[in-house]
């Protein structure tokens, strides 16, 4: 009969091996950190979290503020009655639900009735029901601006009014003709005045404006894209798809189908125009005056068209090519 035996270490032998390994480990720690008196300082949990949270770009700011021109839709408020306001805004948003979906707007208070109170909470809730986000107010009295600020809205400066120069001739009242005795007395009393003519050299300084550079886009503008031409015209040598947006401080030229949104004269140029080879836009705007697809003249749909501003109203005219 053969047998197989397995030797197991006793408890005393196992404790001896453990003590030997612990002494060896303590000796290595004493050699590496003699200044600690044989004890190695292990990093605390807070230090480990700090070390782990240090990013490779430490010291660089994680954000910065930049000035940018963002086109905003302005809701000019004449007066506020909740039921009437709800009906009006519902009728407007139903014309183009996709355009007004989650649209940020500014409430214009320049035409709001004087000394009128405005419940901003009701106004904001009425807009949110139609998926419109009120972000700020423009103009209005100090009382209205204070109420808007308490409602969490931003404040924008009042829009500059257009200055019209008018020349009025003031008619001087007719005076009776002086008699001969009066004329003689005036001549005697009038002192002699000596005039001295000095020649003044006038230096004219001509300030040349920077040449406006047009932005040319050779590729189609796809849905979701936005193209902006600052301080000049925008020329698109292709089509603009639905859901795309093109903007320019000057004119807009689209040598193809215009199906998206086109905003010309975004800085207030009322002389700007929009030209396209085929009108099918979701929205067109010039200097803030806009019309959505349902309001565009049906006679120009699918045809070469120009859009211009005439007395604060958008006009559509077919182009003869």
- Strongest mean pLDDT among 63-67, 110-114, 247-251, 310-314: 247-251
Residue that wins the pLDDT comparison between 80 and 204: 80
Domain with CATH 3.30.70.260 in the chain: 73-156
Tens digit of each residue's pLDDT (9 = 90 or more) over 205-231: 555 555 568 899 999 999 989 999 988
pLDDT of residue 246: 94
The whole-angstrom separation of Cα 49 and Cα 157 is: 46
Residue length, the chain? Answer: 321
pLDDT at 188 over 70: no
Q: Where does CATH 2.160.20.70 sit in the chain?
A: 215-318
d(CA 268, CA 309): 11
What's the pLDDT score for residue 170? Answer: 45
Q: Which residues, 6 or more positions from 294, have their beta carbon under 8 angstroms from its beta carbon?
A: 95, 96
- Neighbour tally for 41: CB within 10 Å: 7
> Which of 69-78, 90-99, 186-195 is predicted with the least confidence, judged by mean pLDDT?
186-195
* Backbone torsions φ then ψ of 214, nearest 5 degrees: -80, 145
- For the domain covering 73-156, report its CATH number: 3.30.70.260
Beta strand 274-279 with 283-286 is unpaired
pLDDT in tens, 280-294: 999 999 988 888 888
Query: CATH classification of 215-318, choosing from 2.160.20.70, 3.30.360.10, 1.10.10.10, 3.40.50.980?
Result: 2.160.20.70
- pTM score, whole prediction: 0.48
Span 170-186, pLDDT tens digits:
444 555 555 565 555 55
Report whether 288 contacts 74 (CB < 8 A). Answer: yes
User: Phi, psi at residue 122, to the nearest 5°?
Assistant: -65, -40
pLDDT of residue 218: 94
């Amino acid at each position: 009969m053969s047998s197989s035996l397995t030797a197991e270490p006793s408890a005393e032998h196992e404790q001896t091996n453990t003590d030997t390994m612990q002494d060896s480990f303590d000796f290595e720690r004493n050699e590496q950190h003699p200044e600690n008196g044989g004890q190695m300082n292990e990093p605390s949990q807070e230090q480990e979290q700090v070390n782990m949270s240090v990013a490779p770009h430490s010291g660089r700011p994680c954000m910065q503020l930049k000035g940018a021109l963002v086109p905003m839709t302005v809701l000019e408020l004449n007066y506020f009655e909740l039921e009437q306001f709800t009906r009006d805004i519902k009728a407007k948003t139903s014309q183009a639900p996709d355009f007004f979906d989650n649209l940020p707007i500014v409430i214009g208070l320049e035409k709001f009735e004087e000394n009128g109170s405005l419940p901003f909470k009701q106004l904001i809730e009425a807009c949110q029901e139609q998926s419109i986000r009120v972000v700020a107010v423009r103009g209005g009295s100090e009382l209205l601006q204070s109420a808007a600020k308490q409602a969490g809205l931003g404040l924008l400066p009042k829009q500059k009014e257009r200055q019209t120069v008018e020349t009025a001739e003031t008619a001087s009242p007719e005076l009776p003709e002086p008699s001969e005795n009066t004329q003689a007395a005036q001549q005697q009393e009038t002192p002699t005045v000596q005039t001295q003519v000095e020649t003044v050299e006038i230096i004219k300084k001509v300030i040349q404006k920077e040449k406006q550079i047009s932005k040319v886009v050779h590729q189609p503008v796809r849905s979701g894209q936005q193209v902006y031409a600052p301080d000049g015209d925008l020329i698109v040598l292709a089509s603009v798809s639905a859901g795309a947006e093109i903007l320019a401080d000057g004119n807009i030229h689209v040598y193809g189908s215009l199906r998206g949104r086109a905003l010309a004269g975004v800085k207030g140029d009322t002389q700007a125009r929009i030209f396209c080879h085929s009108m099918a836009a979701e929205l067109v705007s010039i200097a803030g005056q806009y019309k959505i697809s349902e309001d565009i003249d049906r006679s120009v749909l699918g045809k070469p068209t120009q859009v211009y501003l005439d007395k604060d109203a958008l006009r559509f005219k077919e182009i003869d090519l």
